[in-house]
Amino acid sequence: MPKTFRNFIAGRWVAPTTRAYFENRNPANTRDLIGRFPDSGAADVNAAVASATEGFRKWSRVPAPARGDILKRVGDLLVRDKELIARQMTREMGKVLAETRGDVQEGIDTAYYAASEGRRLFGHTVPSELTAKWAMSYRRPIGVAGLITPFNFPLAIPTWKMFPALLCGNSVVIKPSEDVPHTVHMLVELLLEAGLPPEAIQLVHGAKAAGQRLVEHPGVPVISFTGSTATGAAIGAECGRLHKRLSLEMGGKNAMIVMDDADLDLALDGILWGAFGTTGQRCTATSRLLLHRKIHDRFLRRLAEAAEKLVMGDGRKAGSQVGPLIHEAARDKVERYVAIGKQEGLELVTGGRRPRSPRLRNGWFYQPTIFAGAKPKSRLAQEEIFGPVLTVLRFGSFEEAVRINNGVRYGLSSSLYTRNVNLAFRAMRDLDNGITYVNAPTIGAEAHLPFGGVKETGNGHREGGWEVYHFYSETKVCYADYSGTLQRAQIDNYD
C-alpha cells in the first residue's frame, strides 16, 4: 500500500477537508508510486492561514538571533539527512544524485546564511537635520508569507523562501509543487525537529486551487512565487489588485556565447552541464548557444559527439548523467518544440526523439537534442522549452552576440567564454540579464548572492543573498525628539 501523506496545519498532520489526493510517481519509472498527497482546497488554506496568523504573533516576538539559532539547527539536520533527502528527491524529481545532493547543500548554505543574518538584519541610524533628535530605521516582520514553489529544485527553492521569511519573523504557509511534494514534507519534519514553533510553519499540499486561494487570501500580505511565466503573470495581476507584496521568479532563455579565442575544452564542459544538467529543466538552463563563426563548425561537431555519449537513466543509478523529464506534459512540450524546429527548417544535429532502450521505457526520458542554424527570431531561439533542447546560433562579432543575447523577452542569466579581459568586462556591462557568468555556464548560483532576472523573468525582487531579507521585512523609520520643544522639519532649521 502506498503511503498517504497529510498537510501540516495548526500544529498537526491532518487530512485535507476535500478528502481528495493526487499520486506522486517516480518520473524515471512511473510504476514506482511514492505516495498519495492531499489535493487541498480553500478550506485547508483558510485553516492554515488562521493558524499561521496566531503563529506570527508568537514567532515575530522571538528575538532574531534566537530565530537564527533554530535555522542553524535546521542546517545541521539537513547535513545529517543530506543523503537520505537527496535519494528521495531523485526518486520524485528525476535529476541525478549529484544534483540532488547539491540541491540539499544549497538548503544547508541557505540555513547557515539565515542563521548569521539573525545577528545582522541591519537598519540605519542617520543624523537628524534637527538638534536633539534621533533618526533611525529598523526592519520588522510583515505577517503570514504565502510561498508557492516549482518542481525543479524541490528543496533549495523552498528553503530560499522559507528561511529568510522565518528569519525575518514572518510565519509561513507553503504550497509546494504537486510534482515533488515529498521533499517539502521531509523539510517540514526537520523544521519541527529543530524546534520551530508549529504554528510558524504550515504545509498545504495541492495544485492550482490551493495556490490560488493562498494568493487571494486577505490574511496573507506577502507572496513569493517561482514557476512558469504564465502562472506568474496571473498571480501578479491578482496581487496587484489586492496590494500584496510579491516576488516573482519565472522563465529564462539563457545564452552562452563562445568567442573565437575561448578555451573550447572548457566551453564544451560548460555547455554540456548548462544545457543538459537537470535535463534542461532549470530556469537558468543554457538553452541558446551562440558560436563565433570561426569556431562554429568545429565546436558543433565536438558538442554533438559529446552529447550523444551522455548516459540517460534513473538518477539514483551510478553512471546516469541525464534523468527524465518531470512528467508526460513536459515531454509532450519538448516534442512539440522539436516538431516546430523541423518545420522552421532548423538543422537537427542530434537527438530529436525518445530513447529506444527498453530500460528507459517506463520513464519520461528524451534524448539530449541540438538544433543548429537558428535565426535570432526562430521560435526555438525565443521561447522557453524547459527540456534537453539546445538551439545553436552563429554570430560574427561580440556586438552581434550581445544583440542576440538581449533580443528575447527574458533576462535571467548569460555567459561568455573568452580569454579577452576587455570583452569579459563589456559582457558584464552589456548583457541584459540579472546574472552573467564569465568562463562558466549559465547555471551555478551561490546561496549568499542575490538571484533573479530582468525583463519578463521577474518583477525586480531577488531571492538569496542579502537582498531577499529586504523582501521579507518592512522598513520602519523612527524619530525621537528629545529637545522638549516642537521642532518643525524643513522649517525651523532654515529660519
The residues annotated with a catalytic role in the active site are 249, 283
Residue 293 engages ligand ADP in binding (rule: CB under 6 A): no
41 versus 169: smaller Cβ distance to ligand ADP: 41
Residue whose entry in the numeric block shows the C-alpha cell 514567532:
59
Span of 23-31, 42-50, 79-87, 142-150 interacting with ligand ADP by CB under 6 A: 142-150
Span of 63-71, 115-123, 145-153, 426-434 interacting with ligand ADP by CB under 6 A: 145-153
Cα separation, 107 vs 290, in Å, equals 33
Cα separation, 353 vs 367, in Å, equals 6
Cα separation, 116 vs 137, in Å, equals 20
Binding residues among 211-250 for ligand ADP as defined by CB under 6 A: 211-212, 215, 227-228, 231, 234-235
- Residues 162-201, mask of contacts with ligand ADP (x by CB under 6 A): -------------x-xx-----------------------
Distances (CA, A) of 315 to 28, 276, 307: 8, 13, 17
CB of 101 to ligand ADP, least distance (A): 21
Q: Which amino acid is at 284?
A: T
CB of 167 to ligand ADP, least distance (A): 23
Span of 20-28, 144-152, 259-267, 303-311 interacting with ligand ADP by CB under 6 A: 144-152
213 versus 316: smaller Cβ distance to ligand ADP: 213
CB of 213 to ligand ADP, least distance (A): 8
- Of 249, 240, 173, the residue nearest 450 (C-alpha): 249
Residue 42 engages ligand ADP in binding (rule: CB under 6 A): no
Contacts of 362 (CB under 8 A, 6+ apart): 28, 29, 30, 31
152 versus 436: smaller Cβ distance to ligand ADP: 152
Pick one of 57, 58, 124, 208: the residue that binds ligand ADP (CB under 6 A): 208
CB of 64 to ligand ADP, least distance (A): 29
CB of 471 to ligand ADP, least distance (A): 18
Binding residues among 146-165 for ligand ADP as defined by CB under 6 A: 148-151
First vs last C-alpha separation in the chain: 82
28 versus 204: smaller Cβ distance to ligand ADP: 204
284 versus 378: smaller Cβ distance to ligand ADP: 284
Span of 11-19, 27-35, 205-213, 360-368 interacting with ligand ADP by CB under 6 A: 205-213
Span of 183-191, 204-212, 333-341, 482-490 interacting with ligand ADP by CB under 6 A: 204-212
CB of 441 to ligand ADP, least distance (A): 20
CB of 255 to ligand ADP, least distance (A): 20
Nearest residue to ligand ADP by CB is 211
216 versus 430: smaller Cβ distance to ligand ADP: 216
178 versus 199: smaller Cβ distance to ligand ADP: 178
- Strand-pairing partners, residue 174, are 147, 203
Using CB under 6 A as the binding criterion, the count of chain residues that bind ligand ADP stands at: 17
CB of 223 to ligand ADP, least distance (A): 9
Residue 115 engages ligand ADP in binding (rule: CB under 6 A): no
Span of 185-193, 208-216, 295-303, 356-364 interacting with ligand ADP by CB under 6 A: 208-216
CB of 459 to ligand ADP, least distance (A): 15
Residues that bind ligand ADP (CB under 6 A): 148-151, 175, 177-178, 207-208, 211-212, 215, 227-228, 231, 234-235
